[in-house]
């Protein structure tokens, strides 16, 4: 995947995430756009909305950082070991910051 494609995909993801986050926060404009027919019916389960908001916010942060790496010309390289992140992994998760090994190490440390 070339950097231009990666950037486009990341920017699409950012727009999508911003919309989801707006809906989850109960932003009236976003909710209206998202679900004109039955606004907010999904949001009655507050815990679920809160969990989704946490995930969406973390992913948004990852996407923002990936766009920054595109701008800095280091996109596609693992932020820990600086090796090339495999193409297939970037295809599946364009916002991935680490190769599988470093991500695994990081998750085990938590
Ligand atoms: Zn690595």
User: Rounded to the nearest whole angstrom, what is the distance from the C-alpha of residue 35 to the centroid of ligand 1?
Assistant: 41
- Check residue 1 and give its pLDDT: 80
Summarize pLDDT for 40-84 with one digit per residue, the tens.
Answer: 555 556 778 888 899 999 999 999 999 999 999 999 999 999 999
User: Rounded to the nearest whole angstrom, what is the distance from the C-alpha of residue 41 to the centroid of ligand 1?
Assistant: 42
Q: Using H for helix, E for strand and C for coil, what is the string for 76-107?
A: CECCCCCCECCHHHHHHCCCCCCCHHHHHHHH
Mean pLDDT of the region 30-47: 59
User: Rounded to the nearest whole angstrom, what is the distance from the C-alpha of residue 7 to the centroid of ligand 1?
Assistant: 21
- Check residue 89 and give its pLDDT: 95
Summarize pLDDT for 3-20 with one digit per residue, the tens.
Answer: 999 999 999 999 999 999
User: Burial level of 86, CB count in 10 A (0-12/13-18/19+)?
Assistant: middle
Mean pLDDT of the region 98-110: 91
Q: What structural domains does the chain harbor?
A: 3-109 (1.20.120.910)
Taking the whole predicted model, whether its pTM rises above 0.85 is answered as no
């Amino acid at each position: 995947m070339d950097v231009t494609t990666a950037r486009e995909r990341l920017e699409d993801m950012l727009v999508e995430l911003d919309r989801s986050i707006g809906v989850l926060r109960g932003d009236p404009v976003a909710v209206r756009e998202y679900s004109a027919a039955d606004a907010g019916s999904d949001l009655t389960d507050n815990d679920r909305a809160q969990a989704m908001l946490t995930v969406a916010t973390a992913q948004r942060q990852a996407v923002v950082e990936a766009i920054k790496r595109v701008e800095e010309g280091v996109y596609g390289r693992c932020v820990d070991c600086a090796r090339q992140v495999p193409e297939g992994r970037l295809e599946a998760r364009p916002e991935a910051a680490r190769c599988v090994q470093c991500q695994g190490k990081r998750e085990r440390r938590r």
